Amino acid sequence: MNGAKCNKTPIQKTVCPVCEESGKKVELHTVRALIKIDLIDTLREEDYSFCPNPDCTVIYYSASSNAVVRKDQLITRIGIKEKESPRPVCYCFEYTVEDIHGEILETGRSTLEKDISDKIHAGLCHCEDANPEGRCCIRNITIGVKECFRLYGTMKKNKETRISKYR
């Protein structure tokens, strides 16, 4: 991205034709950037949405034609759809859920939000092409940090207690 902050595209919702969960519109260039090269020509020139259901194999779908792009048709892992490590949460800077958990278990806090925010302000992100959701991933990091604290609770000052208690 060539700017000081991420693009905050207005969200338009549609429903996935497979799981019927509400999805959010993504730009065609996002889908093109992430689909396997040999499948690019199969994409139709239409609007696509991202299916956020972790149990659905559909990543993108078109409400107008019911065309779908499944998880195995992309060049990247989709963090919210993965059950095993690594589970990406930041695609521009390659942070994972495991990075969040590791830092919190080790230090009792997370610096990833600030690190990513600094990189965004430096114009280094390219979320529209890298993040399968087609938007800034900082929200995913914030959610990941909150979920980690919910899972592990408040960290104690004793590093050994933190690590042994939660591993």
Q: Which domain holds residue 157?
A: 77-167
CB 61 within 8 A of CB 46: no
Nearest to 77 by CA among 61, 55, 96: 96
Low-confidence ranges of the chain (pLDDT < 50): 1-3, 156-167
Whether residue 2 lies inside any domain: the answer is no
- 47 and 96 together in one domain: no
pLDDT at 167: 34
- Domains: count for the chain: 2
End-to-end distance of the chain based on CA atoms, in angstroms?
38
Reported as a single tens digit per residue, the pLDDT across 92-110 is 999 999 999 999 999 999 9
pTM of the model: 0.81
Q: Decide which of 51, 75, 99 is a domain's last residue.
A: 75
Last residue of a domain, one of 75, 96, 111: 75
The pLDDT of residue 138 is 92
Confirm if 54 and 147 have CB atoms less than 8 A apart. Answer: no
| Residue 67 shares a structural domain with residue 143 | no
